[in-house]
Amino acid sequence: RSDLQWLCGGALVTNRHIVTAGHCVIIPSTMTLSVARLGDINLDDNVADGASPVDMQVDRTIPHPEYRTNAKVNDIAIVKLRSAVQFSDHIQPICLPSSSLLRSNTFVGQTPYVAGWGALFFRGPSTKSLQQVDIDITDEESCKNAYRNERGAVIDNRVLCAGKAGKDACQGDSGGPLMLDQGAVYYLIGVVSYGKKCAEPGYPGVYTRVTSFVDWINRNLD
């Protein structure tokens, strides 16, 4: 459909619920968040990528009640689909980090993946083909120092910071998953929130820390 404008990424956590960023669902009144595409690789329908994407109608969106557009924290939301999606080789839910072992993990020193269809460089065009990159989780203190003069930035246990030289999420990747591979099982540990340009030296990307919101997510998976 030519009238669709793809806004953000997200991660399927049940057959009817997607976790994304709060700023992805608080959109101008002239727009409606109507469709979620699942299981795609290349957004161009004319490219043979072996995927069989499914467009699902959105029933409603649930932004975190403490998310505010002028503060860069609690940036998480749930998108509920109108009907359940059929799981397939290309459409599977990701695990939530519910165990106490994962909840207490800072993930510093781990190398998770981020994926999306966002811009390939700051102010560049978004890509039609799904990209993924591995990045390193950085400690809270150095992230606080990096963003100490950034308006609205709150670096605490509600966020994760991650980056690698020349590697980062970028515009259009918002809401997308930061995924930790634990040997054949992937966990959603972060949601793309914001950063300083893209892969700006000294500025890791900032992600909503999913372990801090697991209970809220589970309460809203009705």
d(CA 66, CA 22): 10
H or E segment at 156? none
Question: Can you list the alpha helix ranges (DSSP code H) found in the chain?
Answer: 22-25, 100-103, 140-146, 214-219
d(CA 204, CA 155): 12
Among the listed residues 40, 173, 174, 193, the single catalytic one is 174
The neighbouring-strand residues paired with 126 are 119
Residues 6+ apart with CB under 8 A from 68: 74
Among the listed residues 23, 40, 173, 193, the single catalytic one is 23
Q: Note whether 116 and 131 are within 8 A (CB).
A: yes
d(CA 67, CA 9): 18
Q: Note whether 128 and 43 are within 8 A (CB).
A: yes
Among the listed residues 40, 75, 168, 173, the single catalytic one is 75
Active site residue 75: yes
Instruction: Name the token pair of 10.
Output: 């997200």
Instruction: Name the token pair of 133.
Output: 């990159």
Which residues are designated catalytic? 23, 75, 174
